Structure formats: structure tokens, C-alpha cells
Chain A
Amino acid sequence: ETGVTQTPRHLVMGMTNKKSLKCEQHLGHNAMYWYKQSAKKPLELMFVYSLEERVENNSVPSRFSPECPNSSHLFLHLHTLQPEDSALYLCASSQDKAGTGFSNEQFFGPGTRLTVL
């Protein structure tokens, strides 16, 4: 496969469940990102990993727990979520987080549509 893949594409969970979202990039990139996209709201950056180290955590509740075991894989572990956490969760990757003088665009996966009941 090429590009950025995400699994599952759709997930329905109860508030007491524990689940994980998976992202994999096949682009040789060093930085990976989790975004939350809710209806009628701007795209929210949740977490940034660069070379497998978390470099940004934008005040995300602790019920979301990211994991980056290597530069190709990124997980988002979910537990005791709330209905307002229902959204499209997008993963992205880029060549490098640190500025290097080129455009460094982000490549997105198709997203996981999460519904919390």
C-alpha cells in the first residue's frame, strides 16, 4: 500500500469501552499527526510526533492516549470517551517537523469516523 492508511474506517463504541485507532504511513516520513474534525468546527490538531517523540499535545483530555512505536505507525488509544468525542479522526504525516526550507506539506489518511454512544 502507499500513502497513509487508517483503520478502522468506522468505529462505534460505548462510553465504557476501550478501543484504538491505527495509522500507518508508507512515505518514509518522520513526523505524524492526529487531528480531530467535528462538524461545523475547525480542524483541531491533537498530537504531533517527530522521530517518535511527542512534540505537541494541544490540551487534549487524558482519555485520548497516543502512541508512536516507530516512525511508520501511530496509534490513538481511547477509553471512557464522551458522546462529544464523536468525530472524524484524521492522521497525517510529513517529511519532517523541523523547518528545513521546503514546503513540508502534510499527507492525510482517509480518517476514522468515530461514534460514541
Chain B
Amino acid sequence: GDSVTQMEGPVTLSEEAFLTINCTYTATGYPSLFWYVQYPGEGLQLLLKATKADDKGSNKGFEATYRKETTSFHLEKGSVQVSDSAVYFCALSDRAGNQFYFGTGTSLTVIP
């Protein structure tokens, strides 16, 4: 079945460091891919998305490119801030059955 695998956390970075959180997926057909972020005490918020191969989603300095050849959707940010501390979830939506699959989440802590 379809699934999402993302890197284990927690991840701790210094402010202004480069961030990569890896995400790979398994799916039949052509899923849509998402990154959600969950700040402490809150629900999940959509961070960015991509709906077809080679699409790049971007928001708030974060980027992820839909790579069909490597079945990946890695999240990157060039310079993280303390306010980026949160849990990040990779997800896919299978259009055929409209199932939504989430990764296990990666906790990011950015220290000043």
C-alpha cells in the first residue's frame, strides 16, 4: 500500500543553519505531496504542497521538490530561525482512493 517515510528526529540546529528533512514515498499512480507543520500546542498547518512531478512547493523560505525518479519530497530551508522550531510531517494524498498518509513527524529545535 501507499506510505510515507521521513527521517527520524529529533533534529537540533543552530539559528541560520541549513535544514533538510528527508521524505520518501511509496504510491501507485501520481499522488499529491505535502509538508505540514505543527507548532507546540497547535494543530497541523499546511506548509507547502506539490501536485505533479518536478513541481516545487515553497512557503516561508521552505522548499520541497516532487522527485518522481527518486520518489522523494525532501524539505529544505537555507537559514532556519528559532521560530521554525516545530514538528514537520510529510504526507501524500492518493487521488485514486483519496487516502491521506502521514509520516511519523520530525521534531526540529532551533537554538539561538
Binding site for B on A (CB under 8 A): 4, 6, 33, 41-43, 45, 90, 92, 96-99, 101-111
Contacts and interface: CB of A to CB of B under 8 A. Distances in A.
Contacts of B45: 108
A110 B98 contact: no
A45 B96 CA distance: 18
A97 to B, nearest CB: 5
A99 B95 contact: yes
A4 B102 CA distance: 19
A41 B19 CA distance: 23
Contacts of A108: 36, 43-45
A105 B103 contact: no
In terms of DSSP, what is the predominant structure of the interface of chain A?
loop
B103 A104 contact: no
16 contacts: A33-B100, A42-B103, A43-B89, A90-B44, A96-B98, A99-B97, A99-B98, A103-B32, A103-B51, A104-B32, A105-B32, A105-B34, A105-B49, A107-B46, A108-B45, A111-B43
B43 A98 contact: no
Q: How large is the interface on B (under 10, 10 to 19, 20 to 34, 35 or more residues)?
A: 20 to 34
B105 A43 contact: yes
Highest count of chain A CB atoms <10 Å: which of B36, B44, B89: B44
B69 interface: no
Q: Which 3 A-B pairs have the closest CB atoms?
A: A99-B95, A108-B43, A103-B32
Interface in B77-112: 89, 93-98, 100, 102-105
Contacts of B32: 103-105
B46 A43 contact: no
Nearest to B103: A42
A105 B89 CA distance: 13
B97 A42 contact: no
A10 B96 CA distance: 36
